[in-house]
Amino acid sequence: MKKQIILGIALVLILGAIGSFVYYDYHYAPKRTLTFLPKKTLKVAIQPFKGTDKGSVLEVKKGIERYYGLQVTILPDIPLPAHAKNTHILKKYHLKLPVRYRADSLIAYLWDTKPPAYDYIIGLTNQDISTTKPKKPKWLYTDWGIFGLGYRPGPTCIVSTYRLYRYANLAQMRTRLRKIAIHELGHNLNLKHCPHSNCVMQSARESMKTIDTEPESLCDSCKNIVKRKFIVNFPEEQMGKL
Ligand SMILES: [Zn+2]
Ligand SMILES: [Zn+2]
C-alpha cells in the first residue's frame, strides 16, 4: 500500500515536471534560435532614447540575440526628437490627450540618423508612442497609443516600454518587451502580421493578452519567409508552403 502511494506521488511529480516544462517552453522560451541568419554580416543596434532604463535595453539585446542569433550593439542614448511629439495632431483635431511621440516620426528619424554600419536599428523609449489608425471614432484612433512600430521591410523600428508594466511584475514586463522587439524586427525583415496563434507576429489586436499568450518565436511560415530573404538557394518546394 505504502509502495503504491509513493509510486503515485512520484508519478504526479514527474507528470507535473513534464507539464510545467512543456508549458514554459511553449509560452516563454524561444522555440529555437534562428540559425540561418548571416551573423557576421547582419548588424543590429539598439538606439535607446534618453530616459529608457538600462535593464530594458539589456533585455531587448538579450531577446534579439537569443532568438535571432545575432549580435546586438547598444548605441549611446540620444534625446527624443521634439518634432515627433503629437502636439500638431492634438491641435489639428482639438484633442485633449497626453503628450505622446508619433511612432512613424520616430522610425523616420531613426532611418535618417542611422549609422551606415548597421542594417537594423531598434529604437527604445520609455515614453508613450502613438499612431493614427484608420478606424472610428476618430477622437480615439487619431492618436492611438501603441507598443511598437516598424517598417515592413525597412531598417528601423521603435519599441516603447510605457504600456508594458500594466498588471505585470518585472519578469512579465520584460517578457513582453522581448516579444515586442522580436515582432518589430520581424516587420523590418518583411514579415506581415500572422494569423497563427503560435507566432510572435500576430497582431496585438489592441490587447496585451495577445502578447502574453503568444510564444516568443516565429511560426514555420514566418520562419520560411525570413529564410527566403537570406538563403539564396532556399529550396523551391519549401516556398510553396508559405
Ligand atoms: Zn505588428
Ligand atoms: Zn507566423
C-alpha 104 to ligand 1 mean position (Å): 13
- Domain with 96, as residue range(s), is 39-229
* Global confidence as pTM: 0.84
Specify if 217 maps to a domain. yes
C-alpha 196 to ligand 2 mean position (Å): 6
Specify if 12 maps to a domain. no
Q: Could you tell me which residue, 78 or 12, shows the higher pLDDT?
A: 78
CATH code of residue 58: 3.40.390.10
Using one digit for the tens of pLDDT, what is the confidence trace for 179-199?
A: 999 999 999 999 999 999 999
C-alpha 197 to ligand 2 mean position (Å): 8
pLDDT band for position 233 (cuts 50, 70, 90): low
The environment of the single-atom ion ligand 2, i.e. residues with CB closer than 5 A, is 194, 196, 199, 201, 219, 222
Residue range 87-95: mean pLDDT, rounded = 88
Residue 206: Cβ within 10 Å count: 13
Per-residue model confidence (pLDDT) at position 17: 64
Sheet containing 156-160, strands listed edge to edge, beginning at the edge strand earlier in sequence: 72-74, 44-48, 120-125, 156-160, 148-150
> What is the tally of helices (H) and strands (E) in the chain?
9, 8
Which of 115, 195, 117, 128 minimizes the C-alpha distance to 160? 128
Taking the CA of 215 as reference, the closest ligand is 2
Per-residue model confidence (pLDDT) at position 236: 57
| Lowest-confidence segment of 113-122, 129-138, 182-191 by average pLDDT | 129-138
Per-residue model confidence (pLDDT) at position 172: 96
Q: Which residues, at least 6 apart from 160, have a Cβ–Cβ distance to it below 8 Å? A: 103, 124, 125, 126, 127, 128, 129, 146, 147, 148
Distance CA 184, CA 178 (A): 10
What's the total number of domains in the chain? Answer: 1
Q: Quick check: 190 and 225 in contact, CB under 8 A?
A: yes
- With H, G, I as helix, E, B as strand and everything else as coil, classify residue 122: strand
Specify if 51 maps to a domain. yes
**How many Cα atoms occupy the beta-carbon half-sphere of 118 within 13 Å?**
23
Residue 38: Cβ within 10 Å count: 10
Taking the CA of 194 as reference, the closest ligand is 2
Taking the CA of 150 as reference, the closest ligand is 1
C-alpha 113 to ligand 2 mean position (Å): 31
Specify if 134 maps to a domain. yes
Residue range 83-90: mean pLDDT, rounded = 93
pLDDT band for position 57 (cuts 50, 70, 90): very high
Q: What percent of the chain has pLDDT over 90?
A: 69
**Could you identify the residue written with the cell 525583415?**
189
Specify if 84 maps to a domain. yes
Q: Tell me the residue type at 139.
A: W
pLDDT band for position 241 (cuts 50, 70, 90): very low
Specify if 28 maps to a domain. no
Specify if 52 maps to a domain. yes
Per-residue model confidence (pLDDT) at position 16: 65
Q: Report, as residue numbers or ranges, the catalytic residues.
A: 184
C-alpha 219 to ligand 2 mean position (Å): 4
Specify if 235 maps to a domain. no
